[in-house]
A and B are shown apart, each in its own frame.
Chain A
Amino acid sequence: MTNARDDNATLDVLVAGGGYVGLSLALALKKSDPAIAVAVVDTRAREAIAKDLRCSAIASAAERMLTHLGVWSQFAARAQPINEMIITDSRLRDVARPVFLTFSGDVAPGEPFAHMVANADMVGALHDTASQAGVEMIAPDSVTCYETTGETVAIELASGGTRTARLLVAADGVRSKLRDLAGISTVHWNYDQSGIVCTVEHERPHEGRAEEHFLPSGPFAILPLTGNRSSLVWSEKTSVAETLVKGDDFTFEMELERRFGHHLGALKIAGGRHAYPLSLTLARDFVKPRFALAGDAAHGIHPISGQGLNLGFRDAAALAEIIIGARRLGQDIGAFDVLEQYERWRRFDTFQMGVVTDVLNRLFSNDSDVLRAARDFGLGLVERMPGLKGTFIREAAGLSGQVPRLLTGEAI
């Protein structure tokens, strides 16, 4: 805890989960309304955030929000812009992979549609800025149970403490314990695919180009990092992925090279490699009285289009806007009718994205010649229609639909 506080005072919002969703929500609230009392409970201490080696693609909408929150500038120098994205549809044995779709160009002049950012940088900066803004950090700790009693929610912590709040937000990830405690069921299915995540060093520069190859086993994405490095998200059947990750370096690098290609020169794995099972998890409800889900706790989608993070930032921005709006009207921020507005706003968008990514994955992760011809025809059409491509770029940048104000870089 950064400052001495009265643990008996009722908090306005307690956020369970100190990832990018929970922290950006807490910071957005505090920045819009310094009088609001917000705490974040996280299982990780600050030092553990610095050890996260993963990287994330941050779409330009999220970048605008992070800029507004005063976070982006802290790591902008270490962020790698994605200036161009190519998409191919090919078999593994194909020598040349015809490029069907090229997305280049900016959302606005000088603003790339995404950046690759180290999680340690982004989450660390969010944590420090939120803490300085007066968000109470309760870590390492976790919420064990909670009880809604009329006008407040009583929250029990693993450390033995109890806190009360007007609203409890669960941003505790795709396997959200609080979602289960709230009795919210999910629609869930496994893809029998796992995503292998690792970082590679290569001989030649990537020039800020991202690549997504739709291979029969699933999408294989190369995302540029600073220097001559790239981050990989490589999907395979779960059994294959596990064998590869647990197997020897030689086999892994050989299989990697077959997929990665030789256009960037010799490859070398940097750091560890991990496989994460891919699944789709959508919560049936996003809110209950004095309870709201945000981020992956509400929706874990297939990473095929890199939209999971976007959705999480959208949740944080939308929920912050609803809470601040309610406070400006003097409403009870935990009341069900206030929270319903958030659910109404986010559920359709989330469901839509869940379905789109699911269909994309099913359409591309196979070796059917008929489907290949159909999808290549489709991709070719998109390539030839600048208007449609513009729509996809704006979608990828997170700027379509009813966009929360923070994501356009404005104050709430």
Chain B
Amino acid sequence: MTTKTTVDDAEVARFSAMADEWWDPTGKFRPLHKFSPVRLGYIKEHVSAHFARNAEDPAAFKGLRFLDIGCGGGLLCEPMTRLGAEVIGVDPSPVNIEVARLHAERSGLQIDYRATTAEDLAAAGERFDVVLNMEVVEHVADVPVYLAACAQLVKPGGLMFVATINRTLKAYALAIVAAERVLRWLPPGTHSYEKLVKPAEIEGPLGEAGMTIVERCGVTYNPLLDRWNRSRDMDMNYMLLAARPK
């Protein structure tokens, strides 16, 4: 299937090289693992509220169909599957998909991983209750085109989560200079300043695609507790939630 794709080839190659280390919480992907609780908590809380589920139920997502775009090694797909969701994970990198498949098998989880793109899925007519778009928009070549395709994937009454990094001086200082060059949490070149995305640049295309913004929040790092927390400060990392009306 060849449709118009917005994936940047250089970005894909860089992540493929790192793929084997996805699942080591003390390795290169430690920052992403550290990020997990705050992301998972946000998703669990809002999906439960939206679909009238009990947020304390370890199987709250039963019967919901999830799509994780840019699933990487499956760091989000596996928790969503444990919570009872039927999960499809897509990533343009076949290496990532192989790593994710291998790991899901070892974890004893059934996850449908596909080396494809949001654009191809949308063209194929796939639809989901929840679309996860976490830490992806800052890596795509054309944000509005990409988001329009993602919006198509959300069923009426469904949700889309977007998480990314704001294009501000503070984000440049912390997410690029500090995280990549000083603390070495991420390999240099993981993020480039020009590709970072402001909230309005997400909300605009999503609104045009018929989605309404439900909620948004910042995510900040507490160095004393070595933990990420939700906050009102959206100048750096942030998450937002959009819904497609029924």
**Residues of chain A having any CB pair with chain B under 8 Å:** 10, 33, 35-36, 150-151, 327-332, 335-337
Contacts and interface: CB of A to CB of B under 8 A. Distances in A.
A329 B108 contact: no
Interface in B46-87: 55-59, 78-83
B106 A150 contact: yes
Contact of A330 (B26, B81, B108): B81
A345 to B, nearest CB: 11
Interface stretch (B2-10, B29-37, B91-99): B29-37
The 5 A-B residue pairs with the shortest CB-CB distance, nearest first, are A330-B79, A337-B25, A329-B40, A330-B82, A330-B83
Contacts of B34: 337
Interface residue range, chain B: 20 to 34
Contact of B78 (A10, A33, A35, A332): A332
B58 A35 contact: yes
A332 B107 contact: yes
A35 B59 contact: yes
Given A150-B106, A151-B107, A330 B33 contact: no
Contacts of B157: none
B36 A328 contact: no
Interface string B14-43: 000000000001100010011011001100
B62 to A, nearest CB: 12
Given A151-B107, A337-B33, A337-B34, A330 B25 contact: no
How would you classify the secondary structure of chain B's contact residues: helix, strand, loop or mixed? helix
B107 A337 contact: no
A288 to B, nearest CB: 11
B44 interface: yes
Contact of A336 (B25, B41, B103): B25
Interface of B: 25-26, 30, 33-34, 36-37, 40-41, 44, 55-59, 78-83, 103, 106-108
A66 to B, nearest CB: 22
A16 to B, nearest CB: 23
A335 B25 contact: yes
Contact of B108 (A10, A33, A35, A335): A10
A151 B37 CA distance: 19
A150 B37 CA distance: 21
24 contacts: A36-B58, A151-B103, A151-B106, A328-B55, A328-B56, A328-B58, A329-B36, A329-B41, A329-B44, A329-B83, A330-B58, A330-B82, A330-B83, A331-B36, A331-B37, A331-B79, A331-B82, A335-B25, A335-B33, A336-B26, A337-B25, A337-B30, A337-B33, A337-B36
B23 to A, nearest CB: 9
Contact of B37 (A10, A33, A329): A329
Contact of B58 (A33, A335, A336): A33
Contacts of A35: 58-59
B40 A330 contact: yes
Q: Which of A35, A329, A337 has the most CB of B within 10 A?
A: A329
A33 B79 CA distance: 17
Contacts of A327: 58, 82
